[in-house]
Every structure is written in structure tokens, then in C-alpha cells.
Structure 1
Amino acid sequence: MNIIHWTDLPDGIAVPVPVEFSFEENLKYLARSTNECMLEIRDGKVYKAIQAGEEVVMVEIGPDESGGLHVRFLEKSGGISNQLREHIAFYIRDWFDLDRDLAPFYEMAQADALLSQTARSFYGLRIMGIPDLFEAVCWGIIGQQINLAFAYTLKRRFVEAYGSSVWHGGQPYQIFPAPHRIAALTAEELQSLSFTARKSEYLIEVASRIASGQLSKEQLLHAGSIKKAEQMLTSIRGIGPWTANYVLMRCLRFPSAFPIDDVGLHNAVKAVLGSDRKPTRQELLQLSANWSPWEAYATFYLWRVLY
């Protein structure tokens, strides 16, 4: 049976969604910070600039009458060719993880004491991805050992200083900085945005590797296993197991990626259990013993408890 990934509309494209999908739940995730600089949420719809090669398309994403997604093209550079439409459709399918069959996850969660109520409460939530590898790694590095609010502030400074933008409705919509742009910086330039010296060096190192072709999404996806992909990432200065698994989870889409040392995960488990303390690593290993191969989704759903 052929899978229809998208269909043409006069003003854009229609993107079908699986049964286990809730646009409202995913919108709540995207709206968790008022300081998000890569998109805007207004009147129940998402507004975002999506880069496709040398072209940029400004889109409005919202639910359609059939329950799928209506992706309306707003302002763009260049024409909307069939190839460009296909790129946008697959970007959105990747971003919302629409090609994932979540029925096995829900079946597992239903029998799990920690996940059963969480999965019911947030049914239809997907792991909102970061399709671009450089953006995903940067966000992982930026978020190391700081609170989420400050991480969003640093990301905004980084994007506004070194990214590009398109204008729509009298306001700019940001495009994440290109690796070659960051690779050409000095650590001191990034430190002027309040990055630490080490994070500045880490960001420039990753940018250099991606810009030179030493690191790519394709290489990681074809590493042979999640463990080998993790090792490729952790061999890079500044990328430890937490950052690697964050990237494996949100960019490379390995459902068994598990940032087990994540503070937010620990706080969520504490909240669900009604405990007066966070779980130890050993306790979390025991609690997650039956999650395989859905550790990434279990983590994402537990994060949802916190916002």
C-alpha cells in the first residue's frame, strides 16, 4: 500500500497524520517557553521559516478539517516547485515524527506504573524533533548545566547574532546559523554573548566538523547501531552521554535513546511518584527496565509532566 505523505492545496500542502497524533498536545510542547526564537505560535497555529537548500519558505501550520495538518505557504524566496513542496512535507513529517507507529509504545506504557497515567493524559504527543544536526547539537551544548530559561536566552542571542531571517507581517523569523558561519568565529566572540569559554570552544569545534564534512547526520544514521552513533558523538570534545543521547533522540530519531542523567527526567519521576527526592540512577534503571526500545518516548512524556 502506498503511503500518502502530502497532497497539494491551492495555498500550500496537506500533510496526513496518524491516529495517535494530537496537534494540540504538540502545540503545548512548542509553546513551553515564551522565549523560543525559532517559531511563533499565534491563534493555535505555528509560524516558522523553513530552509530548503538555498531557499526559505515561511509557513503557517495548523489542523485541517480532516484532522491532518494544513501547511500554508506565506512568504518565500523562489517559487514553490514540486521538489520544494516535497522537502517541506518531509521536514514537517520528521519534525512531528509522523511516520512513527506509536501503538507499541502505548501498549508498553499502559502496563507501566510510571507511564500509564502520563501516556493517557498526553495521548497524541510526539517527540518534537530538531531535523538539522547542527541545530540539535548546538541546543544540546547550550543547555548543558544551566536552567532552561537561561538556555533559551543564550539560544536567542546566538541565533539573532549569527543566523539569518525572513520577514513576515512586519517581524523577523529566524533561520539557525550555518555551521561555516560559526566555524569562522573566535571563542571570544561567543563569550561576548555570555557563553562560557568552554561552550564557545565546543560550538566552534562542532561547527568546524560539520562544515568540513567530518560529521553529518547521514554518517550517524549509518553508523550501524545506536551505540556506535553515540560513540561517534561522544568522541567530540564537549559532547558527553547526555548531549549525545539528546541528539540521538531529537534529531536522529532513535526511540531507544536515553538521556538517563537528565535532571528534568529525574524531577518528572519524582513528581509522578509523589516522592520527596529524585530517584538515584540505579532506581531509575530499575523503573525503566521495561521501557525498551521506547526510552526516548518515555523520557519525552515524563518531561511533559513538568510544563
Structure 2
Amino acid sequence: MTWYEVNDDIVITLPTIFDMDANLGYLTREKNECMYETENNIMTKVITIGKIQSLVQISIINNKQMVIQFLNDSKPIEKWKRQEIVTYIHEWFDLDNDLTSFYEMAKADPLLKIPVQKFYGLRVIGIPDLFEALCWGVLGQQINLAFAYTLKRQFVEKFGDFIEWNGKKYWVFPSYERIAQLTPADLANIKMTVKKSEYIIGIAKLMASGELSREKLMEMDFKDAEKSLMKIRGVGPWTANYVLMRCLRFQTAFPIDDVGLINSIKLLQNMNRKPTKDEIMELSIPWKNWESYATFYLWRVLY
């Protein structure tokens, strides 16, 4: 993790296989995103470390360096807190992962060779905060992506914090501590089902009690982490694998029943029907240990 400071900015050295246009293509695919803003290839986002909230702007120099600029006097004084911000960004963009062997495999794979060429340098964009990842997984169940983003915005703007800068609000995802105090009635004017409200409050309570944490899950192997997540009310195999992939960074995470994955394979294979689970299993044999990256690149084909 190579980084240094120039005046008040942090500069992170990027891995060789990184392309900001490919990553921004993913990050800007939905105009209703409320957790960051992108303008002229510069991202603005609040990063929360414990009780400290820093408003940062992220820009890229020649796909070699990422520059983190602090806005609104929000730069932490302590170096360890700045290190935590660097760690968060590394996890968000999966910067510590060497993709060389993934690309070697994918370039020879009939399904992946076109996506990896087209989106070269795309990383699996993460959701480093476990509560946010689980909420997003629950919110997205059985609805289209545009509606899921609407629900997320309603939830964040009702229960989250924000930092105001230049007349704009930059939002912080609601904390599990706050959501654990609520009842489904408190979420009634957000257009999600009562069941989803119950699931999200239940997850918040598990995290507030310390029973559920990112740290505990990270100590487990893939199967145990998957089982632990699936014990949570409202978390099935799809949501568990989504969280394992985007928050806990298990590369073998594979949401095999995902509609986007199925539609992407159907499109690339030029099929007039959906591929069966067995067919997907067969196609995914060469992806061993890179299932999460294969899935992410196949999703990317659809938008």
C-alpha cells in the first residue's frame, strides 16, 4: 500500500491494471446514486472512519496515481486516521488485488474475452461498510436497479448524516446504531416492503449487539462466512454472495442465480432462452478463484 502526502493531499500509487474511465463507467451508470458525486472525472464523497467524517475529492493522474484532496477542513490531524482513509479507498477500488492471473484466464475464456478487452482496468468496486453492503443487498432483492437506487436515496436522506459544501449535501450512509433503534413504522414512508424494513432493522440490531461484524466474518473461511450470513433473516444465497463479493472480498463469491449474470450470458452466447444453472456451472469452471471478478465483468456488459 504505497501512499505519500503532498501539501494537504494524499497520493496513492495505483496498480498497473487500473483504468479510471472503466471504473467511472461503472460508478456513473446510475444517475440517482446518492453516496458520491462525479463531475469532470472527479469524485466527491464523505468517508467515515469511526466518528470522523472526511469530505474528499478523488482524481486520477494518468491512471498511475490517485489524488485525495480534503474539502471543508475535514482532513484528520492524526496520521493513523489518514491511513484508515487510504485503507478504505484501497478496499473500495480493490487496489491490493493483483489481477494478472485473472486477465490471463479471461483473455482465453470464450465468455470473458470481450468484456475484459472492453473494460480493461475495471476493478470490482466494493462497499467497504458491512451495514451498507447488507442494506444494499436487501434493498435490491426482486426489484429493478433504478427502483433500488430510489429506495436507497429515500433511506439515506431520511436517516443518514451529511456534510454540506458549496451549497450541496454529501451524504453518509445511516449508521447501524441509529437504525437499530427504529421500528418498521419509522420506515413506513420509504417505499420498501414491511419485510425489507424488518430485515434491515434486524441486521442493524445484530451489528449493534456485536453479534455480527465485518471483522468476525473476515476471520472465517468462505463457506462459514456464507453460512453465517445466510442465518440472518432476509439474507439468502444471492445477498450473501453479493456481500461476500463486494464487502468481504472473497474472490470465490458467486451469485449464480443473479438475473444480470444470467442475462449477460444469454446475450454473449446469443441464446434465445436463459442458460440453466448447470450450464452456468459448466461455463464457470475456468473461473475458479475468480468467480467474483468474472461476475462483475459480465454484469458490466449489460449497461
User: For 1:150-229, what aligned pairs fall within 5 Å after superposition?
Assistant: 150-223=147-220, 225-229=221-225
Q: What is the match of residue 10 of structure 1?
A: 7
Which digits, 9 at most, give the CA deviation of each residue in 1:158-216, with x for residues without a partner?
00000000011110000000101111111122132111011011000000001110000
Correspondence 1:71 to 2:53:
no
Which digits, 9 at most, give the CA deviation of each residue in 1:92-139, with x for residues without a partner?
111000000100101111121111111111110000000000000000
Q: CA deviation at 1:77?
A: 4.2
Partner Cα separation in structure 1 for residue 36 and residue 219 of structure 2: 30
Q: 1:282 to 1:194 in 2, by over 3 A?
A: same
> What percent of counterpart residues are identical?
51
Q: CA deviation at 1:78?
A: 6.6
Q: 1:68 to 1:280 in 2, by over 3 A?
A: same
TM-score (norm 2): 0.97
Structure 2, gaps ≥5 residues long: none
TM-score (norm 1): 0.96
Partner Cα separation in structure 2 for residue 290 and residue 191 of structure 1: 46
Partner Cα separation in structure 2 for residue 152 and residue 67 of structure 1: 31
Aligned length: 303
Q: What is the match of residue 84 of structure 1?
A: 81
Q: 1:100 to 1:147 in 2, by over 3 A?
A: same
Q: What is the match of residue 27 of structure 1?
A: 24
- The answer as to whether partners of 1:55 and 1:78 remain within 8 angstroms in 2 is no
Q: CA deviation at 1:5?
A: 2.4
Partner Cα separation in structure 2 for residue 136 and residue 200 of structure 1: 15
Q: CA deviation at 1:81?
A: 2.5
Correspondence 1:93 to 2:80:
no
Q: What is the match of residue 281 of structure 1?
A: 277
- The answer as to whether partners of 1:56 and 1:76 remain within 8 angstroms in 2 is no
Q: CA deviation at 1:76?
A: 4.2
Q: What is the match of residue 53 of structure 2?
A: 56
Partner Cα separation in structure 2 for residue 119 and residue 66 of structure 1: 17
Correspondence 1:122 to 2:113:
no
- The answer as to whether partners of 1:91 and 1:131 remain within 8 angstroms in 2 is yes
Q: What is the match of residue 41 of structure 1?
A: 38
Partner Cα separation in structure 2 for residue 201 and residue 65 of structure 1: 46
Partner Cα separation in structure 2 for residue 89 and residue 79 of structure 1: 12
Q: What is the match of residue 254 of structure 1?
A: 250
Partner Cα separation in structure 2 for residue 63 and residue 286 of structure 1: 39
Partner Cα separation in structure 2 for residue 12 and residue 162 of structure 1: 31
Structure 1, gaps ≥5 residues long: none
Q: 1:78 to 1:272 in 2, by over 3 A?
A: closer
Partner Cα separation in structure 2 for residue 177 and residue 145 of structure 1: 23
SS in 2 for 1:268: helix
The one-letter amino acid paired with 2:83 is E
Which digits, 9 at most, give the CA deviation of each residue in 1:22-70, with x for residues without a partner?
1111111110100000000001111101111111111111112572101
The one-letter amino acid paired with 2:235 is I
- The answer as to whether partners of 1:31 and 1:41 remain within 8 angstroms in 2 is yes
SS in 1 for 2:224: helix
Correspondence 1:271 to 2:267:
yes
Work out which of the residue numbers 66, 88, 104 in structure 1 matches 2:101: 104
